[in-house]
Amino acid sequence: MSKPLVALLTGAGISTDSGIPDCRGPGGLWRRDPEAEKLVTYDFYMGDPEIRRRSWRMRRETHTLGARPNAAHHAVAALERSGVPVRVITQNVDGLHQLAGLPERKVLELHGSARSVVCTGCRARAPMEEALARVEAGEADPPCQICGGILKSATVMFGEHLDPVVLGEAVAITKACQVFIAVGTSLQVHPAAGLAGLAVDHGARLIIVNAEPTPYDDRADRLVREPIGTALPQLLRSEEVT
């Protein structure tokens, strides 16, 4: 008997145990400092050198690249190693699923990756570590080393569209899975949030693991409110999933 395809939609809540704050949560960065949202808004970033300089300082000071996977990330990777078909659709940009051992091809990063930078002119990419080293060395707003264009994090900023290819793959996986687990996401940011309903519409069991209520709770087969770091590993070891 073949094992069910398990799709996980992961949000900021899965990475808080790794020291990465939830920007939209009750105590999140955007609520504490609305001005900070400008640092990751495309039009502000492209049009204001001072916003870019502040954005680079923020990235240098947050130490996101030093974050390590936690028990929840490792549990997802362990499920994949056990032979269960697993695909992760993530709203996160931290790369922690891959660092935990999940193959790159099995992770769809809806909002891009904070581990790379991209030139807004020639589209050349480079490691974020290299750009931050240049900032550390005194370049407040490091330009592209190939064409001199404006560099930005390879993440989807506010005001930018999701990559249609990545989104299309996410929709295909959602329609094909038998189990859809939404973890640490408010299910309020579209189009990612709509994947939960799409999965149910195509016959998948929906499990929501989140501290706060979501708009899709009434469609879920199971709701889990316990801390993700302990609840998700237990869930992924259970017969509900395997």
Do 141 and 237 lie in a common domain? Answer: no
Pairing state of beta strands 151-155 and 112-119?
antiparallel
Confidence of residue 23 (pLDDT cuts 50, 70, 90): low
pLDDT at site 37:
84
Cα end-to-end distance, the chain, whole Å:
12
Confidence of residue 32 (pLDDT cuts 50, 70, 90): low
- 36: tokens are 């900070």
What CATH number corresponds to the domain at position 151?
3.30.1600.10
Confidence of residue 28 (pLDDT cuts 50, 70, 90): low
Distance CA 77, CA 68 (A): 14
Q: Of 1, 103, 20, which Cα lies nearest the Cα of 69?
A: 20
The 10s digit of each residue's pLDDT in 198-208 is 999 999 999 99
Taking the complete model, does pTM exceed 0.85, yes or no?
A: yes
Residue 182 has pLDDT above 70, yes or no: yes
What CATH number corresponds to the domain at position 171?
3.40.50.1220
Residue 112 has pLDDT above 80, yes or no: yes
- Is 161 assigned a catalytic role? no
Q: For residues 20 and 63, is the Cβ–Cβ distance under 8 A? A: no
3-state secondary structure of 153: strand
Rounded mean pLDDT of 150-175? 96
- Residue at which a domain ends, from 98, 129, 155: 155
Helices (H), the chain: 29-32, 42-47, 49-62, 71-81, 96-99, 128-136, 164-176, 194-201, 228-236
pLDDT at site 174:
98
Could you tell me which residue, 213 or 241, shows the higher pLDDT? Answer: 213
- Residue at which a domain ends, from 131, 155, 179: 155
Distance CA 166, CA 192 (A): 11
Question: CA distances (Å), 62 to each of 57, 59, 129, in order?
Answer: 9, 5, 13
Do 126 and 45 lie in a common domain? Answer: yes
Distance CA 239, CA 242 (A): 5
Rounded mean pLDDT of 74-79? 98
* Selected catalytic residue, list 63, 97, 111, 202: 111
- 177: tokens are 């899975």
Could you identify the residue written with the tokens 């469609």? 219
Asked if the peptide bond before residue 26 counts as cis, ω within 30 degrees of 0, the response is: no
Distance CA 150, CA 143 (A): 5
Do 85 and 144 lie in a common domain? Answer: no
Q: Of 95, 155, 97, 170, which Cα lies nearest the Cα of 125?
A: 155
Strand ranges, E, within 91-212: 107-109, 112-119, 125-127, 151-155, 179-183, 205-209
Q: Of 37, 50, 52, 66, which Cα lies nearest the Cα of 153?
A: 52
Do 191 and 218 lie in a common domain? Answer: yes
Residue ranges making up the domain that contains 222: 1-20+68-111+161-242
